[in-house]
Every structure is written in C-alpha cells, then in structure tokens.
C-alpha cells in the first residue's frame, strides 16, 4: 500500500533529523495521513508510537505496521483535546520507547458548512481538536527536545489554512491557528536546535474526507472539489522530503506551493476567482444543477446585493438599444 525505500532523491546525510532507532510519535496515527507518515518513518528505521482515541483501530494499524517490517510499534489511547490524557500517554510512550525525536501532529477533524448554519459546537469543537489537539502534544514533548538540544515537530494544517475557502469558517480558522502556532514556534525553538515544519495538504483520500462530504455546501465543492484528492502515502512521502530539505513550510501540491509563496500578491485575483466559482455554484444550485458553472460571473448577492448575476456591458447596451432606438450592430453581426 505504501511504497518502500528511497523515492525522493535526498541523500542520507541530509536526514540527520531522524536516526535509525529513534522514537517518533504520531497523533491521529490510526488512519489517513498519520498512519501513512508512521509507515514512512518506520521504513527509515524509526521506533513508531501511534496515539489516537480508538483502541481497535490503533491495534489494527499497529499490527499492519509490524507485518510490513516496522522495527517496533507502540500505541497509546488518548483524546488529544484532553491535555492530561495526552501528557500521560506521551510519558508512557517515552518510558517504553525512549525520548521523542520526532512528533507529527496529525489528529484532526473537519466540519464544513455555511457560517450562518453551523452550530456553535462546530467552532469550539474544531478549535479543541485541530488547534488544542496540536498544542497539547507539542507541550508534552518540546521541553525534553529543548533539554536534549534536538528534535523535530511536524504540524498538519491545510490549504484552508492558507486561503479562506467558503464553507470552512470553523475548520479554516482552526487550521490558520495551527499555521500561526507553527510559525511562532519555528522562531522560538530554532535556537534550541528543535525544528518545526508545518504541512499544508489539499484534500486527501482519507476517512475524514469521506465523512465530511455530506456537510459540504456547493460553494466549497466549487472552490476545492474540482481537484482530485491525493493519496495519504503520497502526502507522507512529500512530508518527509520537505523535512529532509529543512523546509519550515511544506506544500504537497502545486496549488498549495503557489499559495504559500505568492498568496499575498495573488490575493486580489484569488478573491475574484473564489467569487466567480461561488457565484456559479449558487446559480447552479438554484437551477437544480449542483456545481454548475453556468452563470459563474459576478454575483450580486449578500449584504447590499440583489442576489442576481451581474449583466454584462454588452447585454445592458443591447437593452438600451431596444428601449431607445436601433441597437448598434456588433462586429460579429456585421456582414
């Protein structure tokens, strides 16, 4: 399922952040990006610890890693939103497998929906899982990394943490928070030789993506649903390649890379693109065609808007001609 061996062209001397036999802890490690990254770390000889809520899925994931040749696999059941549980779990894993050299915070959830329709619990819940669920494991392992003068923290944000995507007001805000935390920690921990990298994946073919589709409004699909999801193992390989190269910002697809590098410069164009796609999606939904691009022009809606697509200059000129005399013939109509 996951490719083995060297596939990223990075020389072994550049991989000093992870030595064979060192301990890597992966939260959300029972499925998706977390499990794929754990497998990639195990292929490099790491002792891997998986931390997640569900004991059955954890044991199934650990058994699968052992079958494919992992040096050693440990598990711990904990809810990442509960700091005390996370601290106890990390302490137990460190006693069993040694100090943590690499932490990957992959636990997360998504709950798309229009802002006006989302319950308050969606916002508080995603802050607890996506942001605090990233913060508490970092708080548990970073002190020992600083004491040792060595360590790597990899956080998982999202492309929705680079640009505001309609339908992700709760999820995007939490992922922007992960991005902000990672940027601050990178600067603070660098003098202690602790590296911090933040990953910005697009849609990934995981159980989470399958679960969220029933909540996605048409506007979200119009903006992000046109891109085929990546496989978790592809994302994992690109995460490790990014850490190998010492990148604090890891984008695993071209769109994410462009947003990370030029998002500020491209912001006006990005806003126009989003408005264009959302307008078309809403018109398509109104006509009964989900995701239709018909009429995906400017949208006069929302506060102060009429809720109708803007008419083009040519259409208005034609209407003026019909009302006030003969309409001027266009070049295309000329004989």
pLDDT tens track, the chain, 335 positions: 444 444 444 444 455 899 999 999 999 999 999 999 999 999 999 999 999 999 999 999 999 999 999 999 999 999 999 999 999 999 999 999 999 999 999 999 999 999 999 999 999 999 999 999 999 999 999 999 999 999 999 999 999 999 888 899 999 999 999 999 999 999 999 999 999 999 999 889 887 777 777 777 877 776 666 678 899 999 999 999 999 999 999 999 887 777 777 766 666 766 666 566 656 666 666 666 544 433 333 333 333 333 334 444 444 444 444 444 444 444 444 33
User: How far is the first Cα of the chain from the last one, in angstroms, to the nearest whole number?
Assistant: 63
249-250/100-105 β-pairing: unpaired
Q: Are 158 and 201 in contact (CB under 8 A)?
A: yes
* Active-site annotation holder among 30, 106, 131, 171: 171
Q: Among this protein's residues, is 168 annotated catalytic?
A: no
- Cβ-in-10-Å burial (0-12, 13-18, 19+) of 61 comes to buried
State how far the alpha carbon of 293 is from the alpha carbons of 167, 224, 285, in Å. Answer: 18, 14, 10
Q: Is 175 a catalytic residue?
A: yes
Question: Which one from 175, 182, 224, 292 is the annotated catalytic residue?
Answer: 175
Contact by Cβ (8 Å): 209, 106: no
Tell me the C-alpha distance between 93 and 91, whole Å: 6
**Separation between Cα atoms, residue 237 and residue 105, nearest integer Å:** 16
For the question of residue 131 being annotated catalytic, the response is no
Give CA–CA dist 193/29, Å, rounded.
25
The catalytically annotated residue of 30, 31, 49, 157 is 157
What is the residue extent of each domain of the chain?
Answer: 12-252, 271-324
Homologous superfamily, domain 12-252? NAD(P)-binding Rossmann-like Domain (3.40.50.720)
Distance CA 280, CA 274 (A): 10
């Amino acid at each position: 399922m996951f490719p083995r061996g060297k596939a990223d062209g990075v020389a072994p001397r550049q991989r000093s952040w992870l030595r064979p036999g060192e301990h890597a802890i992966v939260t959300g490690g029972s499925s998706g990006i977390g499990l794929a990254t754990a497998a990639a770390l195990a292929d490099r000889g790491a002792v891997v610890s998986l931390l997640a809520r569900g004991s059955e899925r954890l044991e199934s994931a650990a058994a699968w890693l052992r079958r494919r040749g992992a040096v050693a696999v440990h598990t711990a059941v904990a809810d990442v939103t509960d700091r005390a549980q996370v601290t106890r779990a990390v302490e137990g894993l460190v006693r069993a497998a040694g100090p943590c050299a690499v932490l990957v915070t992959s636990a997360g959830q998504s709950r798309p929906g229009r802002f006006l329709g989302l319950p308050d619990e969606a916002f508080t819940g995603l802050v607890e899982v996506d942001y605090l669920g990233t913060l508490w494991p970092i708080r548990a392992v970073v002190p020992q990394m600083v004491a040792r003068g060595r360590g790597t923290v990899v956080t998982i944000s999202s492309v929705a943490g680079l640009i505001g995507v309609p339908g992700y007001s709760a999820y995007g805000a939490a992922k922007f928070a992960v991005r902000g935390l990672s940027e601050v920690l990178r600067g603070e921990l660098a003098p202690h030789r602790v590296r911090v990298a933040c990953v910005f994946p697009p849609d990934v073919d995981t159980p989470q993506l399958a679960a969220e589709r029933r909540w996605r409004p048409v506007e979200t699909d119009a903006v992000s649903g046109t891109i085929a999801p990546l496989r978790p193992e592809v994302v994992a390989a690109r995460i490790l390649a990014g850490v190998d190269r010492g990148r604090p910002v890891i984008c695993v697809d071209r769109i994410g890379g462009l947003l990370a590098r030029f998002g500020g410069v491209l912001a006006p164009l990005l806003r126009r693109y989003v408005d264009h796609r959302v307008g078309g999606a809403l018109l398509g939904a109104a006509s009964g065609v989900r995701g239709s691009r018909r009429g995906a022009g400017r949208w006069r809606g929302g506060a102060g808007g009429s809720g109708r697509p803007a008419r083009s200059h040519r259409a208005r000129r034609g209407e003026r001609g019909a009302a006030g005399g003969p309409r001027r013939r266009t070049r295309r109509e000329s004989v």
